[in-house]
Amino acid sequence: MGKLWLICIASISILLPFLCNAFSPETPTDRRVLVLLDDFAIMSSHSLYFNALKSRGFDLEFKLADDPKIALQRYGQYLYDALILFCPSVERFGGSIDVAAIVNFVDSGHDLIVAADVNASDLIREVGTECGVDFDEDPSAMVIDHIGYAVSGTEGDHTLIASDDFIKSDVILGGKKIEAPILFRGIGHAVSPANSLVLKVLSASPSAYSANPKSKLSTPPPLTGSAISLVSIVQARNNARLLITGSLSMFSNRFFRSGVQKAGSQIKHEKSGNEQFLTEISKWIFHERGHLKAVNVKHHRVGETDEPALYRINDELEYAVEIYEWSGTSWEPYVANDVQLQFYMMSPYVLKTLSSDKKGLYSTSFKVPDVYGVFQFKVEHQKLGYTSLSLSKQIPVRPYRHNEYERFIPAAYPYYGAAFSMMAGFFIFSFAHLYSK
Amino acid sequence: MARRLAGFLVLLLVVSICEAAFLFQPISDSHRSTALELFTPDHGSFKSLEETYEALRTFQILGIEKKPDLTATACRSISETVGSSSSTAKDLFYALKANSIAECKIDKKASKGIISRLKAAVSGASSLLDFYYSVGGLVLIKDQSSEADVHLADAEGVFRSVKAFSQSDGRWRYSSNNPESSAFAAGIALETHAGIVSLASSEIDQSLISTLKNDIIKLFDSIEKYDDGALYFDDKLVDGHEYQGPVSTTSSVLRGLTAFAAVTAENLNLPGDKILGLAKFFLGIGVPGDAKDFFNQIDSLACLESNRVSIPLILSFPSTVLSLTRKDSLKVGVSTVLGSEVPSLTVKLVGAFSSGSKDASLVESQELNFDKTSGLHILNDLPKSIDVGSYTFVFEIVLHEPKHEEVYFKGSQTKVPISVTGLIKIENSEIAVLDSDLGSIESQKKLDLAGKNAISLSANHLQKLRLSFQLTTPRGRSFKPHQAFLKLRHESKVEHIFVVGNSGKQFEIVLNFLGLVEKFFYLSGKYDMELTVGDAAMENSLLVAIGHIELDLPEAPEKAPRPPPQPIDPYSRYGPKAEITHIFRAPEKRPPQELSLAFLGLTILPLLGFLIGLLRLGVNLKNFPTKPLPATFAVLFHVGIGAVLLLYVFFWVKLDLFQTLKILGFLGGILVFVGHRILSHLAAASAKLKSA
């Protein structure tokens, strides 16, 4: 019995690191997600969203946000790969989770989805601030739009917004165009202009504003127009991905199934765009799209195949790299036309767009500049929605050797001619001088 | 507990509407389509008979056509369970339950065997659930076949032993050694009691039933309440194992209650508003996404619809947003919770209150007309006193026949939030630049806020900008929108927003630029102006670009605040950079090859001149030694010189310095030797000639 225990513990401790890591190119599957809820009723009222995740192979674990037993890590190992916070009103997390623990979780490359709502607690606002967005500070404020609201027979306060101002990125929102507007009811947030990692995925229309719909406005609201972000994403420098939204109800079955008609538009959509939008964006969040890896970096002189230790100035060289994108199940060739290579020493000497064979291989050829020193091959690929690729490889470049210069310069022929005629003259003169009588 | 309640409230806010008055819609087609989605058997059959029963029951209540193959597979598993001797009371119970809907043919012999097994289970039962399953099974057999003998001999004894699990607060325990009591168990116990009563061969003692009634009243004392009037039962979270959640708990109590009310002849004296509260709870959860919750909701609503206490009536509204401009009429539908027909009745509008104020009713009490074709009660024209805005309307149901009063519960009054919208007339809109000290108008322009405007104004920091307009409702009253913003946007995308205030009818904003220079960060230049007027009641909410104003502001002092950074366009932040190609050093400029060759030719000329000169001088080789030894040295000497010169040619063509020096050293040695010999021979010969 005791032996069995030992084996059990040993096998768990061996398996644990493999089971519970952040997204990594080596083990991209087997992802465990912790879902923190205010109430278990959300499991039922938001089941379509959760089922969509489960059907894609995610292992969701539902816990109450103030459950005293919850923890993100044990013995220094993270127990989950991603965290979903559907608990807008939680004042304090249970167990060992706090804002710092969540920040550490993200800092170690894990993904996070945060949904706030009207009357969101300070704790959730703090999580938002750590993620780089600021929710409207007024606790009873909502996003109101008197022009872009969703027509509804029963709701007349224009806080149910039909928004279709998406970010233009196929990698974030999927290749299929989202036809129907998104239903949103909740609070707005602003992204800091100084933070370049946060992106507004769904913005409010120019006529929107964030205020308490029941009280009269005397001062201008802090958030207005398209500066209001309804849904934002963050891709951290370690490729952790975050989704922040001010509406929990936009994930609900009711909004998923509800029809939508935007005010002023004659088109009535059978189903809102919420399901498509949120499912597609969750694919991005969970790295099923837009996660790149580069392998097989090769470079050599034109006509050769081996990689040299150094190049000479003015050499012709060829550079090739293979780039793949994770599709959720396998690595697919990445197709783009803007992968660029830099030949870099202090600043780029050559910057060239690599040509692609549409099967993941990117290659180019160029002539080494006539400057010698220690150069780098650099591929810095940053594209909206994709993980950033940063490859660099050092390579020295030497000048010509003394015997590699040109030997017979036509312009110097008169000099050679003069010298040789001199020598011929000397040879003849030596006879004339010595033997003439 | 409070947290969970708060969480549920959030959910309720999601599904209902955030006003003091709440709207509940009866079960509709969205439930039917969801039911088909939720109850889809994988590989043709459900996981358990319990799920099969839930699916069949839900489809039955919602009136969804049963799929024949579903019934067939259900029958197969039912007969398997019934035929097997190892199946437990729980399996038998759910098999019989499913059979009550699927109506399969059960072997007579098998059913006899079940009866004896269930009877044995009743007498051997020790926990509440044992009683529940075995008694429930017997009741189901009794309902399905009238001839079977399922009567319990010792009904009162069983009744007492189930009653023994009850607690003083009206809740029940699951077994005698489990101290935790729950409302969920209470529901199960009530259903069991009802079963025992119907199985009893003789009358059960009335005192027992009346104590049970007291328990029910006590149980209803512990009912919990939401803000919107919804009532529900919930158990304290003891441990996750037996906790069922409010939907299951309330549903269990309701099932027990209905079953009990069906077997006892007399009234339970439950207040109708409690029943209505429970109905509101089940309607308030909307369309659950979980099959279990969905079944509980539908089954409970079916219980409410058929219960003998009273059937709640629900007011439903196709639309609560009414347009004055389109002359929408107020339509009210009355139905039971499952949306079925109700007896003839009249809906009365008792009052209408402007939301947020506690003034007297704006309308007089009036009856709504019943429209037979649509089945709706209609108020064709909204009263004159109702202007745009949001209101709370209060309705009352009046049943035509007094005997229905006992069957149906209509609630005292129903408060419903109604939004009235309309087109707002915008008049007298104009924009002007004023001189500061005198207030005299420098330039004034009319605006057409409904159309396009392209006004261009200019002002300096000593002037003011005035924008004014009037808003009137369709009923001719002044209108104050929630949103009236003037936005000024500088070329550098710095925005300033001002709220347009109102004085009576007139909306006016005066921007005194002298006081605003600091706020404007001393940024002179073109400002685009944008006016937004919007309100929930305003059908023609607008966002118009007015035009632009050219502002001439003073130079910024040194310590003036800088404008905040503007967000960078994410599309421009990424994307490919411009290509860089290295510019190589240009090769040195060289003369054309012809020129070099021409000069090469010129360099040969002096040699030719030298040769011609030698010939002219008559150079000869008469002094060449004649003796063989000196002649050999002379030949070797000149061959050596030639070799050195040839070496120089090779040095130019291919050899490097080191190779050249090596050969040169060798040649030099020979040359010195033979040179010395021939030169000394020549010197001796010339000295001899001189002396001679």
Report the CATH number at residue A124: 3.40.50
Asked if B10 lies within 8 A of A43 by C-beta distance, the reply is no
Least confident of A180-184, A240-244, B142-146, B281-285: B142-146
Given A240, A260, A285, the domain boundary residue is A285
Q: In degrees, to the nearest 5, what angle opens at C-alpha B61 toward C-alphas B58 and B67? A: 60
**B246 contacts on A by Cβ (under 8 Å):** 41
Residues A237 and A296 in one domain: no
Quick check: B163 and B212 in contact, CB under 8 A? yes
B285 touches chain A (CB under 8 A): yes
pLDDT at A4 exceeding the cut of 90: no
A99 occurs within a structural domain: yes
Residues A274 and A215 in one domain: yes
B650 touches chain A (CB under 8 A): no
pLDDT at site B296:
87
B609 touches chain A (CB under 8 A): no
A410 occurs within a structural domain: no
Residues A244 and A273 in one domain: yes
CB atoms within 10 A of CB A357: 12
Q: Which of A39, A147, A349 sits opposite B534 (nearest CB)?
A: A147
Name which residue leads in pLDDT, A267 or B359.
A267
Least confident of A14-28, A314-328, A334-348, B82-96: A14-28
Residues A263 and A318 in one domain: no
Tokens linked to B487: 């936005």
**B247 contacts on A by Cβ (under 8 Å):** 41, 44
For residues B131 and B118, what is the distance between their CA atoms, to the nearest angstrom? 10
Q: Which of B289, B290, B497 sits opposite A220 (nearest CB)?
A: B497
pLDDT tens digits, A246-255: 999 999 988 9
Name which residue leads in pLDDT, B639 or B280.
B639
B587 touches chain A (CB under 8 A): no
A424 occurs within a structural domain: no
Q: For chain A, what is the domain count?
A: 2
pLDDT at A18 exceeding the cut of 50: no
**What residues contact B499, with CB distance under 8 A and at least 6 apart?**
A217, A218, A219, A220, B484, B485, B509
B354 touches chain A (CB under 8 A): no
Residues A315 and A189 in one domain: no
Given A263, A285, A307, the domain boundary residue is A285
Average pLDDT on A278-305 reads: 91
Q: Which of B565, B620, B634 sits opposite A194 (nearest CB)?
A: B565
Residues A44 and A170 in one domain: yes
Least confident of A197-201, B12-16, B322-326, B346-350: B12-16
Report the CATH number at residue A384: 2.60.40.1930
CA distance, residue B538 to nearest chain A CA (Å): 8
pLDDT at site B23:
64
For residues A58 and B562, what is the distance between their CA atoms, to the nearest angstrom? 49
CB atoms within 10 A of CB B353: 18
Interface of A with B in 338-397 (CB under 8 A): 338, 340, 342-343, 348-353, 366-367, 369-371, 382-384
A437 occurs within a structural domain: no
**B480 contacts on A by Cβ (under 8 Å):** 216
User: Which letter does DSSP use for residue A151 in this model?
Assistant: P
Structural domain containing residue A168: 15-285
Q: Which of B532, B536, B565 sits opposite A157 (nearest CB)?
A: B536
User: Which letter does DSSP use for residue A212 in this model?
Assistant: -
pLDDT at site B510:
87
User: Which letter does DSSP use for residue A410 in this model?
Assistant: G
A329 occurs within a structural domain: yes
pLDDT at site A111:
92
Residues A135 and A253 in one domain: yes
pLDDT tens digits, A355-366: 998 888 999 999
Pair type for strands B483-490 and B525-534? antiparallel
Residues A367 and A317 in one domain: yes
Q: What are the beta bridge partners of residue B498?
A: B486
> What percent of chain B clears pLDDT 90, i.e. is strictly above it?
9
Q: Name which of A263, A199, A188, A184 is nearest A224 in CA terms.
A: A188
Q: Which of B536, B574, B604 sits opposite A156 (nearest CB)?
A: B536
Name which residue leads in pLDDT, B192 or B401.
B192
Residues A130 and A30 in one domain: yes
pLDDT at B5 exceeding the cut of 60: no
Average pLDDT on B506-534 reads: 87
A418 occurs within a structural domain: no
A427 occurs within a structural domain: no
A422 occurs within a structural domain: no
Is the reported ipTM for this assembly greater than 0.95? no
Chain B interface test: which of A36, A157, A214, A429 (most B C-beta within 10 Å): A157
pLDDT at B94 exceeding the cut of 60: yes
Residues A145 and A211 in one domain: yes
Q: What is the Cα Rg of chain B in Å?
A: 53
Residues A45 and A128 in one domain: yes
Nearest residue on chain A to B606, judged by CA atoms? A421
Residues A133 and A190 in one domain: yes
